[in-house]
């Protein structure tokens, strides 16, 4: 989204009672002391490839970038007040439920989470939201056992393509992604992804399962509903045997695979939503 516009909203204080209400008081005070120009400059330092989270308010600005981007997407796509959003593999990240809550308290949100520790943290983080929230502790590929076809306005893959690829490969490699601490096993999972990629075996290993998940999620959508992917690339990947350039190309990889599968999803492009490395927005016919 437009970083100047985001800086203006942060400086105005309009986000303080909604998207910033659980931020550390020190970070909120620091942001309120900054003018629009300073906030915009900080955002430009943070929102890049890879993300730079080294500054004192960088993590909060990163969160606001995604939360406001999703809130604004809801408005741009003219979602109904009672919109139903399904997010696959949210983990303990709450950017989308918070954005949806800020957009309309009449909306509802569903996610499928397998990792038990991440699910517990997700529940704790979303306890104060007004929207209806449902957590399904099962694999997203079985979501139709829980949510009827054609009932969802948006399916969200927020920084999730990598998680899906990692989980598929973890099943092949015998890595426990359900009972383990996700962050402690993530380096091992990322190294597995890179090994398959460097051997030229990644697509053969994950394409079928990945497309089955996307096809299943497409069935959830109402006609005219949206499937939205975003991606963010963090610093330090090379330090653990992974690759910034590979990770930042996930949007293009996803676009190619979905086009190849011909699932009846047409891409739309919106001003302010970079379709090269950050966003892929698809609409169901």
Give me the residue label for tokens 């796509």. 77
- Identify whether residues 54 and 150 lie together within a single domain: no
Query: What integer pLDDT is reported at residue 276 of this predicted model?
Result: 87
Q: Reduced to 3 states, what is the DSSP secondary structure of residue 72?
A: helix
Main-chain phi, psi angles of 48, to 5 degrees? -150, 180
- Identify whether residues 117 and 72 lie together within a single domain: no
Q: Name the DSSP class of 38.
A: H
Query: What integer pLDDT is reported at residue 216 of this predicted model?
Result: 96
Instruction: Give me the sheet containing 279-284, strands edge to edge.
Output: 132-136, 108-112, 84-88, 152-158, 221-230, 279-284, 265-268
- Domain-terminating residue out of 76, 97, 113: 76
CATH of the domain at 158: 3.40.50.150
- Mark the ranges of the chain whose per-residue pLDDT is less than 50: none
pLDDT in tens, 198-219: 999 999 999 999 999 999 999 9
Query: What integer pLDDT is reported at residue 178 of this predicted model?
Result: 87
- Identify whether residues 161 and 269 lie together within a single domain: yes
First to last CA, the chain: 26
Query: What integer pLDDT is reported at residue 140 of this predicted model?
Result: 82
Alpha-carbon distance of 204 to 164, in angstroms, equals 15
How many domains are contained in the chain?
2
- Using an 8 Å Cβ cutoff, are 39 and 31 in contact? yes
Query: What integer pLDDT is reported at residue 187 of this predicted model?
Result: 95
Alpha-carbon distance of 262 to 98, in angstroms, equals 32
Q: Residue 53 sits in which domain range?
A: 1-76
Determine how many CB atoms are found less than 10 A away from the CB of residue 194. Answer: 18
Alpha-carbon distance of 182 to 177, in angstroms, equals 7
- Identify whether residues 38 and 142 lie together within a single domain: no
- Identify whether residues 111 and 12 lie together within a single domain: no
pTM value is 0.95
- Identify whether residues 37 and 110 lie together within a single domain: no
Query: What integer pLDDT is reported at residue 1 of this predicted model?
Result: 86
- Identify whether residues 48 and 60 lie together within a single domain: yes
Alpha-carbon distance of 46 to 178, in angstroms, equals 32
CA angle at residue 10 from 6 to 13, to 5 degrees?
Answer: 145
- Identify whether residues 66 and 180 lie together within a single domain: no
Please name the residues in contact with 194: beta carbons below 8 A apart, sequence gap of 6 or more.
Answer: 241, 242, 243, 246
Alpha-carbon distance of 109 to 123, in angstroms, equals 13
| Sequence-ordered alpha helix ranges (H) in the chain | 3-12, 25-33, 36-46, 58-76, 95-103, 116-125, 161-173, 182-198, 202-220, 244-247, 250-261
- Identify whether residues 191 and 217 lie together within a single domain: yes
CA atoms within 13 A on the CB side of 42: 25
Query: What integer pLDDT is reported at residue 200 of this predicted model?
Result: 98
- Identify whether residues 207 and 270 lie together within a single domain: yes
- Identify whether residues 45 and 70 lie together within a single domain: yes
């Amino acid at each position: 989204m437009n970083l100047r516009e985001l800086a203006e909203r942060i400086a105005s204080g309009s986000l303080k009672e909604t998207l910033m209400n659980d931020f550390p008081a020190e970070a909120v005070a620091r942001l309120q002391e900054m003018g629009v120009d300073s906030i915009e400059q900080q955002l430009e330092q943070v929102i890049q490839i890879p993300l730079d989270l080294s500054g004192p308010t960088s993590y909060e600005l990163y969160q606001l970038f995604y939360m406001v981007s999703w809130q604004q997407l809801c408005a741009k796509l003219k979602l109904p007040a009672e919109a139903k959003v399904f997010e696959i593999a949210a983990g303990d990240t709450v950017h989308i439920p918070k954005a949806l809550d800020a957009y309309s308290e009449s909306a509802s949100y569903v996610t499928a989470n397998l990792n038990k520790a991440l699910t517990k943290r997700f529940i704790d983080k979303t306890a104060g939201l007004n929207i209806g929230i449902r957590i399904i502790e099962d694999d997203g590929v079985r979501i139709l056992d829980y949510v009827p076809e054609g009932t969802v306005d948006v399916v969200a893959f927020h920084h999730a393509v990598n998680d899906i690829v990692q989980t598929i490969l973890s099943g092949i490699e015998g890595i426990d992604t359900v009972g383990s601490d996700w962050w402690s096993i993530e380096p091992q999972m990322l190294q597995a992804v890179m090994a398959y990629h460097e051997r030229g075996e990644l697509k053969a290993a994950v394409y079928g399962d990945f497309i089955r998940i996307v096809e299943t999620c497409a069935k959830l959508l109402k006609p005219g509903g949206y499937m939205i992917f975003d991606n963010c690339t963090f610093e330090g990947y090379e330090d653990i045997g992974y690759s910034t350039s590979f990770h930042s190309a996930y949007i293009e990889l996803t676009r190619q695979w979905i086009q190849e599968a011909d699932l009846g999803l047409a891409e739309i492009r919106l001003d302010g939503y970079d379709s090269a490395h950050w966003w892929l927005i698809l609409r169901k016919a």
